[in-house]
């Protein structure tokens, strides 16, 4: 077992109280609430169905989508924002976000909100416009600066750590599922389901 050490972090504000939604064990589907009914959807389907966000506000989601597509093109359409929002609005003990490995205490909503705000503020400071309004070249230049970890005036979680976390979230959503493995030609060799639940 191994952990890549992260930079140290301050603590983050408490998230808003949100309803808990559960994952369905055994698949890539999440349980989302849509029009009062629980439905099992992939993050991409949740995005297509415009499932309301519970943890992140619209401004944060817009920055998250834009950043996600710079980090890993196509990740927003794969449902990056819905995936992260789903995890943030559930029970921290059940969280599947990589951030939990990196020395940041739960809850994690504040980490995302602060990081997204800082990225947007950086866009305003450097280019005079919001992050979602940047060209690809402009946004990539800012992400390169974030990845280096030292961004003047940055006010949020350490820029390098925020880059690392969000980049890996995008990879999780795009390549961390059986569909993602298939895109790469990696056999998933999925869930070992022994005939009689071995050992129980």
Q: Are 89 and 54 in contact (CB under 8 A)?
A: yes
- Cβ–Cβ contacts within 10 Å for residue 178, how many? 14
Q: Which is nearer to other proteins, 57 or 74 (CB)?
A: 74
Q: Which is nearer to other proteins, 18 or 98 (CB)?
A: 98
Residue 200 C-beta: closest distance to other proteins, Å = 5
Q: Which is nearer to other proteins, 128 or 197 (CB)?
A: 197
Q: Which is nearer to other proteins, 128 or 200 (CB)?
A: 200
Contacts with other proteins by CB under 8 A lie at 1-6, 8, 25-26, 70-73, 92-98, 100-101, 103, 105-106, 140, 143, 147, 164, 167-168, 171-172, 175-177, 180-181, 184-192, 194, 197-200
The radius of gyration of the chain from alpha carbons, rounded to an integer in Å, stands at 18
Residue 85 C-beta: closest distance to other proteins, Å = 15
Q: What's the CA gap between 10 and 158, in Å, rounded?
A: 9
Residue 104 C-beta: closest distance to other proteins, Å = 9
Q: Which is nearer to other proteins, 57 or 148 (CB)?
A: 148
Q: What's the CA gap between 133 and 67, in Å, rounded?
A: 11
Q: What's the CA gap between 169 and 48, in Å, rounded?
A: 19
Q: What's the CA gap between 8 and 103, in Å, rounded?
A: 7
Q: What's the CA gap between 171 and 11, in Å, rounded?
A: 26
Q: Which is nearer to other proteins, 28 or 128 (CB)?
A: 28
> How many residues appear in the chain?
200
Residue 152 C-beta: closest distance to other proteins, Å = 20
Residue 35 C-beta: closest distance to other proteins, Å = 27
Residue 138 C-beta: closest distance to other proteins, Å = 13
What element of type H or E holds 39?
strand 37-41
Q: What's the CA gap between 183 and 145, in Å, rounded?
A: 30
């Amino acid at each position: 077992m191994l952990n890549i050490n992260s930079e140290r972090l301050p603590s983050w504000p408490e998230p808003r109280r949100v309803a808990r939604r559960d994952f369905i064990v055994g698949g890539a589907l999440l349980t989302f609430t849509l029009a009062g009914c629980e439905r099992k959807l992939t993050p991409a389907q949740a995005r297509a169905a415009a499932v309301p966000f519970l943890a992140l506000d619209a401004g944060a989601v817009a920055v998250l989508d834009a950043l996600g597509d710079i980090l890993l093109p196509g990740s927003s359409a794969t449902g990056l924002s819905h995936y992260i929002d789903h995890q943030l609005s559930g029970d921290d003990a059940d969280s599947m976000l990589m951030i939990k490995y990196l020395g940041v205490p739960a809850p994690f909503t504040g980490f995302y909100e602060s990081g997204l705000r800082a990225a947007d503020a950086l866009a305003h400071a450097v280019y005079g416009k919001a992050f979602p309004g940047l060209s690809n070249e402009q946004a990539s230049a800012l992400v390169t600066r974030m990845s280096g970890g030292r961004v003047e005036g940055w006010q949020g979680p350490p820029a390098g750590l925020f880059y690392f976390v969000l980049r890996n979230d995008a990879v999780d959503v795009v390549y961390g599922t059986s569909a993602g493995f298939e895109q790469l030609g990696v056999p998933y060799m999925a869930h070992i389901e022994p005939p009689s639940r071995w050992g129980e």
